[in-house]
Structure 1
Amino acid sequence: MMEKTEIKADEIHKALLTRFFEIGKIVEKNQERVLRAFRQQQISEFHFQASTGYGYDDIGREALERIYADVFGGEAALVRNQFVSGTHAISTALYGVLRPGDELMYITGRPYDTLEEIIGLRGRSGSGSLKEYNISYREVELQHGLIDTETVLKSVRAETKVLGIQRSCGYDNRPSVNVSEIRRAVEAIKSVYPDMIIFVDNCYGEFVETEEPPHCGADLTAGSLIKNPGGGLAKTGGYIVGDSSLIEQCSFRLTAPGIGAEGGASLGLLRDMYQGFFMAPHTVGEALKGAVFTSAYLGAQGMETFPAPEDARTDLIQSVSFPTKESMIAFCQAVQSWSPVDSHVKPQPSPMPGYESDVIMAAGAFTQGASIELSADGPLREPYRAYVQGGLTFEHVKTAVVNAVKQLEENRMLGNKL
């Protein structure tokens, strides 16, 4: 006999089917774009072969980078397993194009926690931050969730070289920035400062809409392969897509001047990177359906969620608010208990490299840190919010969220306590 929580979950699921169909149409368009790029490059078995050592003349790696550039709307790309994370890809892009005396200005407010030490907003001296290279930093806050282009244009100085946009809300209490808003801001800025470099942190946003930031005029865009574009198959890596001359500068930072994109062994990882990118539109669609369901189902339990189920989406992140740190920890632990890996482990708040606050992270993933797999995490600071994202299948997200609610009910942590 079905329990009350399961009946409610199925009712919400049925009510969301029209929304899920809309997500499916986005998946179809993105899948066709990816498939066209694979056909254009005539991908064959030999593209999956491993290179070692210096990695020179790796035709599989080169074809994959042309596919990324094509699909994401850039002139060239770096798609490398040598990138440790999305943060590493982002920092490589920034260090690649900024020079002493330049200024970086983020126009979506304070960026994600892990970038603060890169910029030099906090962290140890001698770490090699942008600040130590005499690269200055400023930021312009969003206004009502939109890029304040009027203030941005007034704030540009002679030394301002790069304007940064973080597409996802990250751990901040703000809306994510959709592709049409990026286009509006880029067009306004480029009409006055045509040589300004517009950089976009694209993490969590790939394939959620039918266009990517380079389609909207962004000069550089970066992200992680263990998030959306890796499709749950890529084991590590990151990418940078954009203007070919800027990509060359980034490649010199990734390897060394004179080597650039010519070096970097693929070490037998190309098959997963290719197949993951092919699967990415579908996998992102599954995660996106899971996020919409999570919002609707937890909202029905009286919990505060953002975005709302009916809201347009530009990334995978779903926030859930809690009145206390204890209730937030309990929720993340409940999600962890319905993971395929380490379900027996109870995550505890702890320090993490690059974060100022302790972080609670439920992430029972096949690939360590893979945010495209279901996770629930957040910094343990007020206001207490967990950020639910990912899910290789919708069914996993639904099962985990429904059973997490059951566990919280059994522990009397719903109702007035949650």
Structure 2
Amino acid sequence: MAECAVDGTIKVTWTIENDYPLVVEVTGQTTGGGELAGLPSQIPATSGNGNTSIAATQTAIPVGSASASLQVSATWADGHKASATGRVSLPGECTPPEKPVTPVAPEISQSEECEVNGTVKVPNTEGVRYLWKGEDVSGKTFTGPLDGVIEVEVKDGFVLADSAKTEFPVTVPAAEVCAPPEKPVTPVAPEISQSEECEVNGTVKVPSTEGVRYLWKGEDVSGKTFTGPLDGVIEVEVKDGFVLADSAKTEFPVTVPAAEVCAPPEKPVTPVAPEISQSEECEVDGTVTIPEIEGVSYFLDDERLEPGTYEGPADVTITAAALGGYTLTGTSSWDVVLTEAKECEDEPTTPTATPTGTPSGTPTPRPSYPPLAYTGAGDTGPLSLLAVGLLGLGGGLVLLKRRKGSRA
């Protein structure tokens, strides 16, 4: 049987038969053109009434050949030899049959790297052409970005196999831009200023640092200043493209207590001088009277003097000091001198004999005067106002004076 091959040549298929019940060995073959394939070295023996046959193919016979021939020589197992020749007429023209073909899909590789585009590798398949916008791109590789359809065109002599595709959508997005390398950043602690003034609250000054956001209860407060009272934590959020430096903090506790209430302003007060009364009577001491003034206390030797009247003798300094909420104006220190009372003279009596002889030379001392007594109301006892009189023969009053510095 002769037929057109796909490559445009003629192909002949030969059938060789053995009609004897012995194996026959093929010892040679000759063709009238082309190439022979498929002829075995032996042909099996017959069995029963039928002949044993094998097939061989003679290919690549040029178109235009008038005929094709095959001569086969053989020897049977019993030594008998024979040869046979076959011949067939060939057609003058040959139209090869269409060959089925399945186009292969292009290979699309999406890039995983930034700033590196993906690719499309178009195959090179027998029997078809791959077209991109009408241009044959078979076997080529393209770099994205791409978005479109690669079409398939079948060449002559080929036919699409069942379910074969003729279009292949291609999408290769543009590569992403690489992010810059992360820059290390160290958040700066907020500046906390506690107030030293009453009724003035402290403040928190939040910095504005490149690469971070400062958050107070979830709100971005970078670069802002807040007035207390405050108690909480300012958190740090790192922006894209930045990374925290080693040992950098991400939280800053903030405590600004409420300002203290201011004390009321001090009220000015002017102390009144103690009233000094010198006695004109013998054996009656003079007095000093301490007034009662709102916002003022009087002191002697760091001891408070209750308002009232005190008896001498004395030579001291009395000072005034302001109570809380007051401030003094005017004089606040006074020297107080109360001389010792004069001794009353005795009435004349009957003269006595004048003693004779020399006096002993040692005068009889006069008893010391007690400290100035407090004569006013209250529980305060005598003050340590010293005025001691020493009396001797022919002597007079001696005052031991003691002055105190002013009390602030």
| TM class, shorter-length | under 0.3
Considering fraction of residues, name the structure with more strand.
2
How high is the TM-score relative to the length of structure 1? 0.14
